[in-house]
């Protein structure tokens, strides 16, 4: 007989540090029901690690939200290459993988969502941006390696 797994809860401060959230942002996610949380009798809050892993989308991350002013702006690959000093093949790969949305065409230029570009560039910089190093998970959130300094 297979028993259902019991959810693991961790203090909200620990979850904020582990998953890269500002404490206030994580509290808002808990209060809005996007992640499961429980308030203990002493007033402390704990969050379900299972819901943290299931519910987090790149759009919910503080690194993505801080570029919200760029959400309706468009840019293009050659401009991104100059502004962020990221190679054209890297930008092209991020587009193919869906990390950067396209917003149409203007002549020969493929217009890119500037918020997606700024987010990807920031994560790229935070992770060191070395060739062959995995930066993003399939859902566009920062990749969490199993070993090394960025491991959980």
Task: Tell me yes or no: is domain 57-152 CATH 1.10.287.
Answer: no
Token readout for 86 is: 């990221």
pLDDT digits (tens, 9 = 90+) for 4-45: 677 789 999 988 777 767 777 778 778 877 788 999 999 899
Confidence at residue 147, expressed as pLDDT on a 0 to 100 scale: 55
Average of per-residue pLDDT across 59-85: 91
Residue of 56 and 89 predicted with greater confidence: 89
CA dihedral 117, 122, 123, 124 (to 10 degrees): 80
The 3-state DSSP class for residue 112 equals strand
Q: Which residue has the tokens 């989308």?
A: 57
Neighbours of 26 (CB within 10 A): 25
Confidence at residue 54, expressed as pLDDT on a 0 to 100 scale: 65
> What percentage of the chain carries pLDDT values higher than 70?
88
Helices marked H in the chain:
12-19, 23-31, 49-55, 62-65, 77-84, 88-96, 114-126
Average of per-residue pLDDT across 122-129: 85
Give the contacts of 121 (CB within 8 A, at least 6 positions apart): 80, 84, 86
The candidate with the shortest Cα–Cα distance to 18, out of 59, 48, 41, is 48
Q: Does residue 137 surpass a pLDDT of 90? A: no
Domains of the chain, by residue range, sit at: 9-54, 57-152
Average of per-residue pLDDT across 51-79: 86
Q: Which residue has the tokens 């987090």?
A: 56
**152: pLDDT confidence band, cut at 50, 70 and 90?**
very low
């Amino acid at each position: 007989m297979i028993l259902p797994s019991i959810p693991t809860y961790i203090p909200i401060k620990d979850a904020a540090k582990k998953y890269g959230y500002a404490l206030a942002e994580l509290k808002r996610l808990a209060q809005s029901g996007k992640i499961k949380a429980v308030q203990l009798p002493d007033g402390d809050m704990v969050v379900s690690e299972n819901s943290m892993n299931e519910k987090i989308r790149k759009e919910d991350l503080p690194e993505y939200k801080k570029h919200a002013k760029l959400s309706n702006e468009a840019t293009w690959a050659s401009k991104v290459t100059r502004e962020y000093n990221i190679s054209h093949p890297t930008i092209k790969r991020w587009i193919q993988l869906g990390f950067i949305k396209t917003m149409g065409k203007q002549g020969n230029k493929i217009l890119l969502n500037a918020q997606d570009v700024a987010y990807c560039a920031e994560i790229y910089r935070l992770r060191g941006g070395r060739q062959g190093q995995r930066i993003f998970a399939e859902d566009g959130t920062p990749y969490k390696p199993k070993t090394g300094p960025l491991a959980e």
